[in-house]
Structure 1
Amino acid sequence: MKKFMDENFLLKTETAQKLYHNHASKMPIFDYHCHLNTKDIAEDRRFKTITEVWLYGDHYKWRAMRTNGVDERFCTGDASDWEKFEKWAETVPQTLRNPLYHWTHLELKKFFGIDKLLSPATAREIYDECNAKLNTPEYSCQGLIRMANVHTICTTDDPVDTLEYHRQIKASGFEVAVLPAWRPDKATMVENPASFNDYLAQLESASGMAIKTFDDLIAALDNRHQFFHENGCRLSDHGLDTAYAADYTQEEIKEIFASVREGKKLDRTEVVKFQSCMLFEFGLLDHKRGWTQQFHIGALRNNNTRLFKKLGPDTGFDSIGDLPVAAPLSKLLDRLDMENKLSKTILYNLNPRDNELYATMAGNFQDGSVPGKIQYGSGWWFLDQKDGMEKQMNALSNLGLLSRFIGMLTDSRSFLSYTRHEYFRRTLCNLLGNDVENGEIPNDMELLGSMVENISFNNARNYFNF
């Protein structure tokens, strides 16, 4: 019987162990999509408790705690840090076979050198040991990033953001590149005229431009796109329930924009036409400046109305959606490609039924200009666990080129989540090791080791070329 989470955790064969220990484990991390707080990095924040770094803002854990019968007070409420940690410690033993069990113990081991299993019996001891270490200089935010061997971080930023903390980080001489990524979703949300117009007021202030017409909107966004570019941004991101590519005319879009500016409620057809136009316009901006675009597609958000009103978005009430995506996604990418303005693109699905759909969609728009120009992105959100990662990589292997895959990202708000890269790399090495043991691929360690190093880091570095 194997010991839980030893040095060969998830590595079932000798080949897998060699690939991980000799190749994957030594590679730096290129974290091209996350939600880390740049203010924390710029000010090199030091967390007072493990609860602050582990439970504040982590909706994965909140969902598990609620499911375990824990009152909201101990998730997002006013309970003390110890009380929240204690409830998490009570929940962890109930998360067996959920990736949270693995992530929790990987993070304790990687960052704190703790091999004990978290439970009510060990909670106080682990809490005190983690807190003592967090209150030392090497456990600051920048220190945690160094411990994880991070090379580059790309955050998630709205076009109206000042990027002041990105500039502060760069000026400080911090050796890890912390770059912004453009997330313009709010500029498409015309279904709520009041919120949309409030956002445009912010965009006017940020750009220094009046926005009276649709052309003004595009000019203001172009202004901010250039500002982001000047501050190192080379990557955009779009969070979508599905792709949008309805037919429209410029006259229709101008009329729709005028209506929403007057506060009029749009019908669904008008909303979809406007969003379709905006996705195309964003694609043009990205191509204009040589950026890569990302599409995260398939979340059904804010399902619990009562708790959404109480707690707001991103608090653990989202799930997998099932809207059709193939036809509109193809149409959107084709529109840009017909103009010869399709940028490098990364596609992420949240519904696992669509794995092969996305893998084949990526193949439709490869043009030989860049290896893996259209990427089928890593397992995302509900799929960034062992089973989801394996299925994504198997679909990509069968229908594309796994060797050109740009690998894992954190997609997290926690500075301890870099162990997800280790989890991914172990899973990758185990897949390849099994194939070698089964005689399905050659036992060529030079070939396989190079492939593992490329997927772990080199491919992303070369693909983004920041």
Structure 2
Amino acid sequence: MKQFNDDNFLLQTPTAERLYHDHAAKMPIIDYHCHLIPGYVAENHRFDNLSKIWLEGDHYKWRAMRTNGVDEKYCTGKDTTDWEKFEKWAETVPYTMRNPLYHWTHLELKTAFGVTKLLNPSTAREIYDHCTALLQKPEFHARGLMQHYNVEAVCTTDDPIDSLEHHIKVREDGFATKMLPTWRPDKAMAVESPADFRAYIDRLSEVSGVAISKFADVIEALRVRHKFFESVGCRLSDHGIEEFYAEDYTQHEIDAIFNKVYGGQALTHAEVLKYKTAMMVEFAVMDWETGWTQQFHYGTIRNNNSRMFRQLGADTGFDSIGDFTVGKSMAKFFDLLDRDDKLTKTIIYNLNPRDNELVATMIGNFQDGRYGAGKIQFGSGWWFLDQKDGMEKQMNALSTLGLLSRFVGMLTDSRSFLSYPRHEYFRRTLCNLVGNDIENGLLPASEIDFIGKEIIEGICYKNAKNFFKF
């Protein structure tokens, strides 16, 4: 019987063990999409206790706790102690079996703190005190944890109006791990609320130094900020969208739509779609001009519980997989760019696993050897799919319909400094998948050295290193 969370966790065959221990495990981490708080890295933040680093902002855990019957005050409340919140999480953990949270929880305890005991009510106090004591040591502060996990680079998620002062400080400090910004301009095309849009555009005008009164001014202001981001090391953009936008439009229409919404009038649904299309094209051209990689995370229905949204705001655990018909619009959007030869390197992340084969075939339509291997990438299993089953389905679709060997691999997509074992989780899953194929005669055992060095090490690290050129 296999032992839970031992050195060969998730590795079902001797070949999988060899691929992981000899190749995957030693690779540095390039975490090219995350939501770390940049200020925590700049100040080398010390976390007061295990709850602070583990539970604050973690809507994955909050969802599980609510489902397990835990009162909201122990998830997001202000009137409960950190220990009380942790205690409720420890009560929940045994009931998360077969949810990826159970795996992540014990991988993080083991790899960060050396804890191999299972977390449950009887071990909660001991584990909490042990980890909290370690967190006071410099090697367990924010930068220390990044070094512990051999993180070579991280890319945070940043709005065009952000100052990037923390990124600049980290660079000036000479910290060994690169912290680079990622351009996330979603608010610049969020025209559903005219008042919020106007406030954002006025702030964009302020930070860019560009007086904005028409659509062309918006683009000029964004270009100023795009160049600033580039000067601080930015090489990626990211867009969180429900679906791809590819409406036909004229410049006259977009000018009129901007004047309407900036003037405080609500737009029709058709006008919203046209404006978002125009903005996405402008963003894509900027990225092509600078050689950046653009990322698209699509398919989420956000803030489904309006009562809890009013109470807690966004990103608190009330989002779900959406059901959108995206194939034609996705193809049309990329073709709008490619027909003028202005389609830059691209990564597509779907949230609905129904779309795996769609995305895996779509990327093949726009590959271009002038950009090197894998210009258009099928992104790793994202959000609800960044677990063993989701990862395997994504890699199987990519293997069948594209080239898994050119995949740029995993990312944390996390706000936590304890989430780096997600890379290990992915690497173990990858090695098990490929190792099983070798054991079953689906891949030649005689090529195991090539598979390990070129394919496994490539997916875990080298492909991303070559693709992003940080």
Q: What is the TM-score normalised by the length of structure 1?
A: 1.00
Matching of residue 36 in structure 1 with residue 36 in structure 2: yes
Structure 1 counterpart of 2:233, one-letter code:
G
2:369 aligned counterpart, secondary structure: coil
Structure 1: gaps spanning 5 or more residues? none
Matching of residue 268 in structure 1 with residue 269 in structure 2: yes
Q: CA deviation at 1:261?
A: 1.0
Partners of 1:292 and 1:7 in 2: how far apart? 36
Structure 2 counterpart of 1:461, one-letter code:
K
Partner residue of 1:86?
87
Q: CA deviation at 1:446?
A: 1.2
Partner residue of 2:14?
14
Q: CA deviation at 1:384?
A: 0.2
Matching of residue 465 in structure 1 with residue 469 in structure 2: yes
Q: CA deviation at 1:236?
A: 0.1
1:296 aligned counterpart, secondary structure: strand
Partners of 1:77 and 1:302 in 2: how far apart? 19
Partners of 2:199 and 2:328 in 1: how far apart? 33
Partner residue of 2:452?
449
Alignment of 1:67-466 (within 5 A): 67-78=67-78, 79-369=80-370, 370-443=372-445, 444-450=447-453, 451-466=455-470
1:159-185 alpha-carbon deviations (Å, 9 max, x no partner):
000000000000111011100000000
Percent identical pairs in the alignment equals: 63
Structure 1 counterpart of 2:442, one-letter code:
E
Partners of 1:281 and 1:138 in 2: how far apart? 43
Q: CA deviation at 1:51?
A: 0.3
Structure 2 counterpart of 1:349, one-letter code:
N
Q: CA deviation at 1:114?
A: 0.3
1:6 aligned counterpart, secondary structure: coil
Partners of 2:16 and 2:170 in 1: how far apart? 38
Partners of 1:114 and 1:309 in 2: how far apart? 39
Partners of 1:380 and 1:320 in 2: how far apart? 11
Partners of 2:125 and 2:143 in 1: how far apart? 26
Q: CA deviation at 1:202?
A: 1.1
Partner residue of 1:5?
5
Partners of 1:57 and 1:223 in 2: how far apart? 32
Partners of 2:192 and 2:397 in 1: how far apart? 36
Partners of 1:416 and 1:241 in 2: how far apart? 29
Partner residue of 1:57?
57
Q: CA deviation at 1:307?
A: 0.4
Structure 1 counterpart of 2:374, one-letter code:
G
1:281 aligned counterpart, secondary structure: helix
Partners of 1:261 and 1:185 in 2: how far apart? 16
Partners of 2:199 and 2:143 in 1: how far apart? 35
Structure 2 counterpart of 1:196, one-letter code:
F
Structure 2 counterpart of 1:453, one-letter code:
E
Structure 2 counterpart of 1:183, one-letter code:
R
1:26 aligned counterpart, secondary structure: coil
Partners of 1:71 and 1:312 in 2: how far apart? 18
Count residues with an aligned counterpart: 466
1:30 aligned counterpart, secondary structure: strand
1:104-135 alpha-carbon deviations (Å, 9 max, x no partner):
00000000000000000000000000001001
2:294 aligned counterpart, secondary structure: strand
- Which portions of structure 1, spanning 4 or more consecutive aligned residues, are displaced by more than 4 angstroms? none
Q: CA deviation at 1:3?
A: 1.2
1:18 aligned counterpart, secondary structure: helix
Partners of 1:382 and 1:457 in 2: how far apart? 23
1:66-94 alpha-carbon deviations (Å, 9 max, x no partner):
00011111001121000000000000000
Structure 1 counterpart of 2:400, one-letter code:
N
Partners of 1:293 and 1:455 in 2: how far apart? 19
Q: CA deviation at 1:210?
A: 1.1
Q: What is the TM-score normalised by the length of structure 2?
A: 0.99
Q: CA deviation at 1:368?
A: 1.3
1:307-364 alpha-carbon deviations (Å, 9 max, x no partner):
0011010000000000111111111100010110000000000000000000000000
Partners of 2:368 and 2:143 in 1: how far apart? 40
Partners of 1:328 and 1:279 in 2: how far apart? 13
Partner residue of 1:23?
23
Deviates most, 385-394 or 197-206: 197-206
Partners of 2:292 and 2:450 in 1: how far apart? 31
Q: CA deviation at 1:448?
A: 1.1
Partner residue of 1:45?
45
1:379-423 alpha-carbon deviations (Å, 9 max, x no partner):
000000000000000000000000000000000000000000000
Structure 2: gaps spanning 5 or more residues? none
